């Protein structure tokens, strides 16, 4: 049984947290500036130097030290983290993101389910259905597949399709072991493209491009592994969503420090056209994820509550702090449940407005390119 604030952590858990805390503090003693590249003066998408600061925020997801800035290009509206995290910085801020901590309970468990809503089975099935108007593929590559939950759901609709997955973490190998994908390719797609060239009929990228240091490189790699005439299926957050301005740093789709790019629909459409693709479908309605209000409340609550016992904090919380956190966390669950219901009640309307928070593109690779 996992420990809670009412059940003192076991000696083994205490030793593990202590060891991880020592490792984190050793890294943090060197400062966090080294995790950032130099700030760039121009837009990585169009090269314009007309930039404005759209957002400045701490890490609201894990509450690790550091401040992050999202700039926006005044010419093409591309939004991007500036200065961008280095590879070392990304590894630091991704570390332990998919792992729970012993104090995560009450509102935090509820919030975790909300913030991971885009990974729900119903959403996977809806995304898979978007490809039904096209010939059933023999082979499908899901990029950034994680534990392979999308291929597992899509197999219900495409019984004769072979699903593979890529991911830079060991999760992709666990997905293969669980039978959710047939082949696991661990690593970045651009590094795998030569080996997988022209192998797939469909390549899907669900909320993946915003995490990539170079989205254009990722798109070129995706087209390289597609067969001529194959389809590319993309879903990403929509930076034009009105919730971004309304909620500010509490808008969960900003996703700092992990989201490096937020690309307007027009920019991606133009890029795919330049790459010789035919865009066969765009959709701003169905990909909307009803979690903006709930996500904002969850982030704000986590920011205001007494600190949790996480290894990147130098001193563990006192028993009083643990107790207060537990009481407040559990008291917040009804608020989150109400906000969750409101998000879903408003979803049919919001999908049709500028409050829709994501978009989908289906593009076909040229048969002759």
pLDDT digits (tens, 9 = 90+) for 245-283: 999 999 999 999 999 999 999 999 999 999 999 999 999
Q: Structurally, how many domains does the chain consist of?
A: 1
214 inside domain: yes
Rounded to whole angstroms, what are the CA distances from 231 to 31, 162, 182, 203? 44, 15, 20, 7
pLDDT at 99 (0 to 100): 57
327 inside domain: no
Q: Identify the residue with better confidence: 109 or 231.
A: 231
Q: Identify the residue with better confidence: 80 or 304.
A: 80
Q: Identify the residue with better confidence: 36 or 123.
A: 36
Residue 221 has pLDDT above 80, yes or no: yes
359 inside domain: yes
209 inside domain: yes
22 inside domain: no
Residue 103 has pLDDT above 50, yes or no: no
218 and 190 in contact (C-beta within 8 Å)?
A: yes
pLDDT at 1 (0 to 100): 33
Residue 368 has pLDDT above 80, yes or no: no
Full domain range(s) for residue 132: 115-291+349-364
Mean predicted confidence (pLDDT) in 222-248: 98
204 and 322 in contact (C-beta within 8 Å)?
A: no
Q: What is the pTM of this model?
A: 0.90
pLDDT at 109 (0 to 100): 52
pLDDT at 289 (0 to 100): 95
CATH number at residue 124: 3.40.50.150
**324 CB burial (10 A radius; 0-12, 13-18, 19+):** middle
Mean predicted confidence (pLDDT) in 129-141: 96
With a CB cutoff of 8 Å and minimum separation 6, the contacts of 1 are 7
pLDDT in tens, 199-211: 999 999 999 999 9
218 inside domain: yes
pLDDT at 160 (0 to 100): 96
Mean predicted confidence (pLDDT) in 91-110: 64
What three-state secondary structure class fits 223?
A: helix
Residue 180 has pLDDT above 80, yes or no: yes
Mean predicted confidence (pLDDT) in 321-346: 93
Angle between helices 106-115 and 319-331 (to 10 degrees): 60
- Calculate the average pLDDT of the chain: 90
pLDDT at 130 (0 to 100): 96
Other residues' Cβ atoms within 10 Å of the Cβ of residue 24:
20
pLDDT at 18 (0 to 100): 81
Rounded to whole angstroms, what are the CA distances from 345 to 117, 280, 341, 351? 16, 30, 6, 11
207 inside domain: yes
pLDDT at 125 (0 to 100): 92
Radius of gyration of the chain (CA): 21
260 inside domain: yes
pLDDT at 5 (0 to 100): 38
Q: Identify the residue with better confidence: 17 or 150.
A: 150
137: left (phi over 0), alpha (psi -120 to 50) or beta: beta
Mean predicted confidence (pLDDT) in 113-120: 54
Residue 108 has pLDDT above 60, yes or no: no
């Amino acid at each position: 049984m996992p420990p809670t604030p009412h059940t003192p952590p076991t000696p083994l858990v205490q030793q593990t947290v202590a060891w991880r805390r020592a490792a984190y503090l050793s890294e943090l003693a060197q400062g966090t500036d080294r995790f950032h590249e130099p700030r760039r003066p121009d837009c990585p998408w169009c090269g314009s130097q007309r930039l404005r600061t759209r957002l400045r925020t701490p890490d609201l997801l894990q509450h690790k030290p550091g401040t992050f800035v999202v700039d926006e290009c005044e010419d093409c509206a591309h939004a991007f983290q500036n200065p961008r995290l280095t590879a070392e910085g990304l590894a630091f801020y991704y570390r332990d993101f998919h792992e729970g901590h012993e104090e995560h309970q009450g509102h935090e468990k509820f919030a975790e389910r909300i913030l991971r809503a885009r990974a729900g089975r119903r959403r996977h099935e809806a995304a898979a259905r978007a490809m039904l108007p096209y010939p059933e593929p023999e082979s499908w590559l899901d990029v950034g597949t994680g534990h392979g939950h999308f291929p597992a759901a899509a197999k219900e609709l495409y019984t004769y399709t072979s699903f593979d997955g890529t991911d830079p973490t060991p999760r992709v190998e666990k997905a293969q072991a669980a039978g959710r994908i047939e082949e696991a390719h661990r690593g970045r797609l651009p590094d795998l493209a030569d080996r997988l060239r022209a192998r797939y009929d469909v390549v899907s990228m669900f909320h993946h491009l915003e995490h990539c240091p170079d989205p254009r490189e990722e798109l070129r790699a995706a087209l390289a592994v597609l067969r001529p005439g194959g389809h590319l299926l993309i879903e990403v957050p929509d930076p034009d969503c009105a919730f971004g301005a309304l909620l500010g740093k509490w808008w969960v789709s900003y996703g700092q420090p992990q989201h490096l790019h937020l690309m307007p629909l027009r920019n991606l459409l133009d890029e795919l056209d330049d790459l010789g693709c035919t865009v066969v479908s765009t959709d701003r309605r169905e990909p909307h994820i009803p979690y903006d209000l709930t996500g904002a409340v969850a982030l704000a609550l986590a920011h205001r509550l007494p600190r949790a016992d996480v290894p990147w904090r130098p001193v563990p919380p006192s028993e009083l702090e643990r107790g207060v956190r537990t009481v407040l966390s559990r008291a917040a669950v009804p608020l989150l449940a109400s906000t969750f219901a409101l998000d879903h009640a408003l979803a049919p309307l919001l999908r049709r407005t500028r409050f829709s928070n994501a978009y989908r593109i289906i593009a076909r690779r040229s048969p002759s390119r």
